[in-house]
Amino acid sequence: MENTDQLVLQDVKKSYDHLHVLKGINLSLKQGEFISIVGKSGCGKSTLLRMIAGLETPSSGCVIMNGNPIQGLNKEARMMFQDGRLLPWKRILQNIGMGLTGDWKEKAMERLQSVGLEDRAQQFPSSLSGGQKQRVALARALVHEPQLLLLDEPLGALDALTRMEMQQLIESIWQKNRFTTILVTHDVEEAVMLSDRIIVLKDGKVALDQVIDLPRPRNRTNPSFNKHADEILAQIMNQDFEEKKDKFKIV
């Protein structure tokens, strides 16, 4: 696969009235990269993801996909959210096949098999656990074979063991298909586990763009893994300390 810049953000800014959420983001992603965006609540992570998806437009700057500025929805991208957003009145296979035309059932079933739920095809979402619903949501996002997968804290509501299983599933599917992936997460260890690069956002700007050069599969007990996690966490927490120091005039 050619190692080219597939997604480019040029001085992207976003404001809502007098609230400046993003203050000039410059990023480039190569085809097939897996990056995570981390930072404290309100730093602009989800806003940035929504602009890449074309769900919102920048106040200024430009988002470029495959050499073309994004205008309207990014047709090469699919997005997965913290809740599965499945239609409760449709069966699992129908949820996955939404938007497909022609003889879509075989393709939808293949994606359902890839997430290990082929035996649930004719059931309704109410019969599934939280983790299973997210597996279906992942299959639904991938059935359109997107070039870009956007993950907006998709594992945030899951218990620890289910979350680790989903991390392994996402990584295995990504390694097989090599679509470009952007994950927004509050979990620094999750970011280190999955990412080629981690972007730390602070106050609407890129504070750190860190390459994670660990071999896969990754081991959370590896000292190098923990070193990366500690460095990323220190970048995030430092802002909180500086804000408190200013507020209380700590010297």
CB 201, CB 239: distance < 8 Å: no
Spatial distance between the Cα atoms of 93 and 105, rounded to a whole number of angstroms: 7
pLDDT for position 157? 86
Please give the mean pLDDT across all residues of the chain.
Answer: 90
Which residue's entry shows tokens 């923990």? 226
- Cα separation, 151 vs 82, in Å, equals 8
Contacts of 95 (CB under 8 A, 6+ apart): 86, 87, 125, 136, 140
Domain parsing of the chain, residue ranges: 5-76+146-250
pLDDT of 67 over the 80 cut: yes
For 61, counting Cβ atoms within 10 Å of its Cβ (0-12 exposed, 13-18 middle, 19+ buried), the class is: middle
Nearest to 41 by CA among 202, 176, 227, 213: 202
pLDDT at 209: 96
From 150, 21, 144, select the one nearest 79 (Cα to Cα): 150
Strands 197-202, 205-211: pairing is: antiparallel
Instruction: For the beta carbon of residue 174, count every other beta carbon within 10 angstroms.
Output: 18
Residue 11 clears pLDDT 90, i.e. is over it: yes
State the Cα–Cα distance between residues 138 and 182, nearest whole angstrom: 14
Cis peptide before 88 (omega within 30 of 0): no
Q: For 185-216, what is each residue's pLDDT tens digit?
A: 999 999 999 999 999 999 899 999 999 999 99
Q: Say whether pLDDT at 32 is over 50.
A: yes
**Straight-line distance from the first to the last Cα atom of the chain, in angstroms, rounded to the nearest whole number:** 53
**Confidence band, pLDDT 50/70/90 cuts, at residue 251:** very low
**What's at 56, amino acid-wise?**
E
Tokens representing 67? 């050499």
Q: Distance between CA atoms of 136 and 120, rounded to whole angstroms?
A: 10
5-76+146-250, superfamily in CATH? P-loop containing nucleotide triphosphate hydrolases (3.40.50.300)
Radius of gyration of the chain from its Cα atoms, rounded to whole angstroms: 19
pLDDT, mean of residues 92-109? 91
- Report the percent of the chain where pLDDT is more than 70: 94
The answer on pLDDT for 249 being more than 70 is no
pLDDT band at 76 (very low <50, low <70, confident <90, very high): very high
Contacts of 141 (CB under 8 A, 6+ apart): 78, 79, 80, 149
> What pLDDT does 3 receive?
55
The pLDDT assigned to 244 comes to 46
129 burial type by CB count under 10 A (0-12 exposed, 13-18 middle, 19+ buried): exposed
Residue type, 245: K
> What's the DSSP call for residue 119?
G
Nearest CA to 37 out of 220, 239, 235, 216 is that of: 235
Q: What is the pTM of this model?
A: 0.90
